[in-house]
Structure 1
Amino acid sequence: MPKDQAEMEVGMRVSQVEEEFEERNLNIEDESNETCEDQNLEDRESENVTRLNLSFSDPATWAKCNDQVRQILVEHGPEQVQQFDFPKDSKQRKFLTIHYKRRLVNGEEMHRQWLQYSTSSDSVFCFCCKLFGSSTTDTSSLSEKGSRDWKNMSAILSRHEKSSEHLTNFQTWKELELRLKYKRTFDEEHLRLIKQEEKYWQQILKRLIALVRVLGVQNLAFRGTHEKLHTSGNGNFLKFVEYLALFDPLMDEHLCRIKDQEMHVHYLGKDIQNELIQLLSNAIKQKIIASARAAKYFSIILDCTPDADHVEQMTTIIRFVDRPTSETENETESVCIKEHFLGFVSLTETTGAGMTETILHQLEEMSLPIENLRGQGYDNGSNMKGKENGLGDIYDALIDIYEDTTLTGSSGNTSRVDAKALTKAISSFKFLVSLVLWYDILFEINMTSKQLQAKEFDICDAIKQLGETKKFLVGRRSDAAFEKTLVDAGELAEELDVPALFEPDPIRIRKKRKQFTYEADDEPIYNPKEKFKVNFYFAVIDTAIHLVEERFTLMQQISSVFGFIYDVYSLQNKTPKQIMEHCLNLEQALQHGESKDIDAFDLCSELQAIARRVQRSSSPQDVLNFIWENKLADSVPNTVIALRILLTLPVSVASGERSFSKLKLIKTYLRTSMLQQRLVGLSILSIEHDIAHSIDLEELVSKFAKLKARKHKF
């Protein structure tokens, strides 16, 4: 190849490489210019040590040219020895700096930047061939041991710079130099592509997590009859993904990759849905538990119901007082009573000891100290269910079934016989009287129950409401109230054309044999009306009164300890001695061994000061808000603690029952642990929707990436 043509090709190739990298550098994204944050500190130290041990001006010392050494040398560039007393050989010849220049045919000179002199070996080397020369091909002496033939040096250099091996190595050198110049080594280019792919998957996961959150919060089904894109019946999740692809270029590109089978891991299947649901529910629980730890004092509310396998599922509700922190405190924030759903727990034992062990284990898992537990609410009774259909409608429906001649066979005849028996049962006057009684009792209980279910309803108000309910029930236990019930039942009997009479009991009264002669004879009630009043009417009301009194007694015990701070304003009408007695009683109730929550003497003085400043009829929550809004918490800390504990105490277990109502299919579908985990996660998303919307999606994507790092690579 002619000399000028070879030089022209090398120059054109170098220019092309420069243009290519300049163009790519203009289009590069900002994140590609960032340094690799994950670079190992040991690698950096090793590079620094190598850089210190290298002699850039002496190529003879470059014994091992690995990738790291090549990158360091190319980045530094060849260093030519100029000011040096070059030694003479046996023929009095030596290296001349004129060899650093090449004279062209037109008389111009071109600098040989690739030529280097080694002071240690008194020889010259080719910089690019020394670094990139291959040992498998015939290499020049300038690349291996160097040359010191000073007599023929001009011819050697001219022949070497025109060789194909030198031109190839020279091109490789310049390409690497340009890559290093623009921070575009092969490793960094590969890392940029990896980061670009990571960012792609992070954006996809961010959209999918947001979609799972929306479906869970709205109680929408995820899956359909199959899991194929762009087909009918593939469920809400995939349909929403298809909808996003219409307006989102990134999601559209993702679906195109799936369609063209460019990827096998697409994160749209049922397994990833379950993982994202669990990820969101765990994030919500962690946020709730963190708030509970910040509040310190908390209560738990528990309720149970069996699933399809007759295994008791216990719902866990945590109640605490959420107060503004010193960092976020402002005029718009106020003290709020929080009740949060934390999930369901399977109970292997329904005994008190078994439930206690389960509760302690759950508190330990959540890192909630049991010494900060200040209240518990339990309800393991059965729920009464009914429909609000009129008795007349039920009666007519049973008659229609009885007169339906199309019902044949054993099952049809059985249905007609049962319908006739039920028709006869509900058409009796006794049933109508019992119906009126139950309606009056349950209507009053329902009014009380609805008020007790409010989170802000405190124990003092609950005592007043239960007192009114007890007063109503006691008033119904009288002959006058019984006669009024008979009048109401008579009006209903007239509408149904039922005689308003008590039919005598056809069963013969068994005469009890006396064991001793001095025993008195039993005097059974033969009057059907009196018998119904004693054995049913009064018995039902007595049972209701007993249950209200039991609940009333438990709340009275709590009120006897905390009752004096329900109305802080009225404390200014009491003497300091009376207030001190209440404070000492409260201190003793909140003391366990050497540990106690408040100091009675400090609390007494604090309450006297606060009582003069709050408004009349201020509730405990109002008083706590007043203290917080006026920044008085550091002046009355014992009052703040006492009010926080008081507001933490639950009044009812309504929150636990509501959690079961959110998961209406629990008795049917909680058959496997995987399905139970999915449904519980969805319940947490639905019930705690406010917290779900406050979860940082970027943080969840990061957590998910760490969880999947061992299984998948983005």
Structure 2
Amino acid sequence: MDDNNVSDHEPIFNSPTTESTRADEEPVFTIDMYDPVNWDNLDNKARDILVEKGPIREENIVFPMDARSRRFAYTHYSRKMSNGEVHDRKCLAFRESSEQLYNDVNGNFLACCEMVAEFDLNELISLMASRITSSIIKIVKETKYFSVILDCTPDVSHQEQMSLLVRCVDMSDEKIKIGEYFLGFMKVDDTSGEGLFNVLVDSIKSFGLNVDDIRGQGYDNGSNMKGKHKGKAISFFGIVQRIYVLFLGSTKRWNVLLEHVPDLTVKSLSNTRWESRIKSVRAIRYQAPQLRSALLWLSEDGDTEPKDRSDAKNLYDVLGSFEFILGMVIWHDILYSVNIVSKKLQSPSMCVDSTLQHIEVMVNYFQNYRNTGFADSVVAATEIALEMGVEALFPVKRRSVRKKQFDETECNEAILQAEKDFETFYFLVMVDMAISSLKSRFKELQSFNEKFGFLMNSTSLKAMDGADLKDHCIKFVKTFSLDGSSNVDINDMISELAVMQSTLPDKPMPVMEIFEFVTEVDCYPNISIAYRILFPMPMTVASAERTFSKLKLLKNYLRSIMSQERLNGLATLCIEKKLLDEIDIEAIINDFAAANVRRNF
């Protein structure tokens, strides 16, 4: 018998989780969770712990006799084999006297197998997913106004899937928060703008939502890096990808990489998210000498295939180019700064005012980097080149000859011209593209600031006079008016803001605190509507992109013919894990039993 099952268990007690308990704290229990008498009162967390640790095996309990004068004996904890060995029976709770299917005394495990065989498991998945979707729809309808986030990708069966999410203010709990919720994957046959619009409208109506309540929409265009200078980026990242592919091609070459590069390993590239390429560049940026020595080893290894030796020699020469080293430093600086802001903007709770602040800081950084970044990058690249034993010089191209003065040297002029060309046609192009991308991608947010800016800061709101307040309210009402009807009454909104100016605390308050104040006092209905229109505005489509990770896990090449209903059910359970933990399991079981009255639960 396994002694660990006896000695490793301490009495653990169960108690309801309080609001003050943090997620990283250990749960506190007040009743013995190992006593079968209390098993009906255990919550989900206690049940998980009980299953993980297993039941306690006590040896000092006298079990009572049953109606047939039988009782449990400790000998059932183990099984003696014919050769004298004793094996522990760890699945005792699932066993019974019969090991045949469709037998009344075949135990819990075989009974579960019978249930799965008799009923469609898809029905249980559908019930749970429907309960989660219903809770999401309830949250959206309570706040009324919402935004939609869309993104498309092909699945393993080459079917275009559109991920649909809604973003709204969650007012169902005491703590108000902004949430982005997954509604499902939609099959798309027509990927044009009209085709996506028709699928969106039909999907929104099928969930019982009103299309007229949509106040924002987010689509993905991250894969479009346009411009005549795109070739520079393709050339650089093409070399980065070639390095990764070379070492990944065999376990021997990968071991050579690990022997020379002990810390960061080379990474593959992402085709759509440019800021994520920092992971690929970082490994080369800080380990270029070690990586070059690994390439040299491969190029001189006689056991390596000739083609791979040739590729290694070619990449070894490329990493020895000062232009590549300098470009590597520049790309690392650009991607690193973009990645920091990108991670912050991907939070579902990010609002317009915070996004504008981060973008403004990012634009200012690149404008300063444009003036001083090239000189700093040359210094950093020179240090790397010296460590690698590479001459820190730009390649000199053939140029037309002109008459020189007595104190001029042709070599210095050519080197300076090569450096100037690199700064003009490479560095400045990359930085200007980054600045332009930031300004153009978030240009619409500036228009939101013009409409909602007076609601985002308590200090500026309290300082407004009556004329400014009226002008802002008129602009807001005109923006959200259609066919003579508006979401708010302009006169009531002006009056409410005038009263709120005198009731707001004197301390500076961010936009979410102002909305919490408005909700708590519950006497500014038009202002509440304005904030419920403001917060759903999507900042990024990162939440839609995250759903594609689940799509690839659920619908892989082994499950390529999975039905759309099952895919959406499983995806909802995986993506909305927090809502899944909150649903009433007993209600799900009752619904499942009511739909399948042939079995008595």
Which TM-score tier does this pair reach, normalised by the shorter chain?
0.5 to 0.7
**Superimposed CA distance per residue, residues 642-675 of structure 1 (whole angstroms, 9 cap, x where no aligned partner):** 0111111122222222333445536854863526
Could you tell me which residue of structure 2 aligns to residue 600 of structure 1?
Answer: 490
Q: Which residue identity is paired with 2:145?
A: Y
* Structure 1 residue 441: Cα displacement: 1.0
1:494 partnered with 2:341: no
Aligned partners of 1:693, 1:470: CA distance in 2, in Å?
41
| Equivalent runs, 1:85-96 vs 2, <5 Å | none
* Structure 1 residue 268: Cα displacement: 3.4
Aligned partners of 2:149, 2:568: CA distance in 1, in Å?
17
Q: Which residue identity is paired with 2:340?
A: M
Residues 666 and 502 of structure 1, relative CA distance in 2, 3 Å threshold: farther
TM-score by length of structure 2 reads 0.67
Conserved 8 A contact 2:218-2:541: yes
Q: Which residue identity is paired with 1:402?
A: S
Residues 472 and 252 of structure 1, relative CA distance in 2, 3 Å threshold: farther
Q: Which residue identity is paired with 1:557?
A: S
1:696 partnered with 2:584: yes
Residues 255 and 610 of structure 1, relative CA distance in 2, 3 Å threshold: farther
Residues 526 and 416 of structure 1, relative CA distance in 2, 3 Å threshold: same
Q: Which residue identity is paired with 1:598?
A: V
Could you tell me which residue of structure 2 aligns to residue 177 of structure 1?
Answer: none
* Structure 1 residue 250: Cα displacement: 14
Q: Which residue identity is paired with 2:342?
A: S
**Superimposed CA distance per residue, residues 676-701 of structure 1 (whole angstroms, 9 cap, x where no aligned partner):** 65454333223322211222223222
Which residue, out of 434, 443, 461, partners 2:327? 434
| Equivalent runs, 1:271-670 vs 2, <5 Å | 272-324=120-172, 333-380=174-221, 381=223, 382-384=272-274, 385=277, 386-387=279-280, 388-389=282-283, 390-407=287-304, 412-478=305-371, 480-505=372-397, 527-615=417-505, 616-629=507-520, 632-633=521-522, 635-663=523-551, 665=553, 668-669=556-557
* Structure 1 residue 618: Cα displacement: 1.4
Conserved 8 A contact 1:402-1:419: yes
Q: Which residue identity is paired with 1:617?
A: P
Residues 416 and 267 of structure 1, relative CA distance in 2, 3 Å threshold: farther
* Structure 1 residue 259: Cα displacement: 4.5
Secondary structure of 2:562 counterpart = helix
Conserved 8 A contact 1:452-1:652: yes
Q: Which moved more, 1:255-264 or 1:693-702?
A: 255-264
Q: Which residue identity is paired with 1:627?
A: V
Secondary structure of 1:340 counterpart = strand
Secondary structure of 2:164 counterpart = strand
* Structure 1 residue 429: Cα displacement: 0.8
Aligned partners of 1:372, 1:428: CA distance in 2, in Å?
57
Highest CA radius of gyration, 1 or 2? 1
Conserved 8 A contact 1:302-1:653: yes
Q: Which residue identity is paired with 1:312?
A: E
Secondary structure of 1:532 counterpart = helix
Q: Which residue identity is paired with 2:526?
A: N
* Structure 1 residue 258: Cα displacement: 8.0
Structure 2: gaps spanning 5 or more residues: 1-39, 53-88, 224-271, 401-413
Give aligned pairs, total. 448
Conserved 8 A contact 1:569-1:611: no
Q: Which residue identity is paired with 2:392?
A: A
Residues 682 and 309 of structure 1, relative CA distance in 2, 3 Å threshold: closer
Aligned partners of 1:304, 1:557: CA distance in 2, in Å?
27
Conserved 8 A contact 1:306-1:667: no
Residues 558 and 493 of structure 1, relative CA distance in 2, 3 Å threshold: same
Aligned partners of 1:250, 1:649: CA distance in 2, in Å?
62
- The percentage of aligned residue pairs carrying the same residue is 31
Q: Which residue identity is paired with 1:333?
A: E
Conserved 8 A contact 1:398-1:422: yes
Aligned partners of 1:561, 1:403: CA distance in 2, in Å?
65
* Structure 1 residue 704: Cα displacement: 2.4
**Superimposed CA distance per residue, residues 136-166 of structure 1 (whole angstroms, 9 cap, x where no aligned partner):** xxxxxxxxxxxxxxxxxxxxxxxxxxxxxxx
* Structure 1 residue 454: Cα displacement: 2.2
Q: Which residue identity is paired with 1:592?
A: L
Residues 570 and 485 of structure 1, relative CA distance in 2, 3 Å threshold: same
* Structure 1 residue 367: Cα displacement: 1.4
Aligned partners of 1:657, 1:554: CA distance in 2, in Å?
21
Q: Which residue identity is paired with 2:205?
A: E
1:686 partnered with 2:533: no
Residues 668 and 579 of structure 1, relative CA distance in 2, 3 Å threshold: same
Aligned partners of 1:252, 1:288: CA distance in 2, in Å?
44
Could you tell me which residue of structure 2 aligns to residue 189 of structure 1?
Answer: none
Conserved 8 A contact 2:496-2:526: yes
Residues 392 and 258 of structure 1, relative CA distance in 2, 3 Å threshold: farther
* Structure 1 residue 345: Cα displacement: 2.3
Q: Which residue identity is paired with 2:366?
A: L
Secondary structure of 1:303 counterpart = strand
Conserved 8 A contact 1:244-1:251: no
Conserved 8 A contact 2:474-2:490: yes
Which residue, out of 258, 266, 273, partners 2:114? 266
Could you tell me which residue of structure 1 aligns to residue 7 of structure 2?
Answer: none
Residues 295 and 374 of structure 1, relative CA distance in 2, 3 Å threshold: same
* Structure 1 residue 499: Cα displacement: 1.3
Q: Which residue identity is paired with 1:599?
A: D
Aligned partners of 1:400, 1:302: CA distance in 2, in Å?
48
Residues 662 and 713 of structure 1, relative CA distance in 2, 3 Å threshold: closer
Conserved 8 A contact 1:306-1:312: yes
**Superimposed CA distance per residue, residues 402-427 of structure 1 (whole angstroms, 9 cap, x where no aligned partner):** 233223xxxx3222222222222222
Conserved 8 A contact 1:307-1:666: no
* Structure 1 residue 598: Cα displacement: 0.7
Secondary structure of 2:590 counterpart = helix
* Structure 1 residue 641: Cα displacement: 0.4
TM-score by length of structure 1 reads 0.57
Structure 1: gaps spanning 5 or more residues: 1-205, 219-241, 325-331, 510-523
CA RMSD of aligned residues (A): 3.7
* Structure 1 residue 347: Cα displacement: 2.5
* Structure 1 residue 278: Cα displacement: 2.9
* Structure 1 residue 280: Cα displacement: 1.5
* Structure 1 residue 357: Cα displacement: 1.6
**Superimposed CA distance per residue, residues 279-322 of structure 1 (whole angstroms, 9 cap, x where no aligned partner):** 21222112111221122111112223332344433222211112
Could you tell me which residue of structure 2 aligns to residue 158 of structure 1?
Answer: none
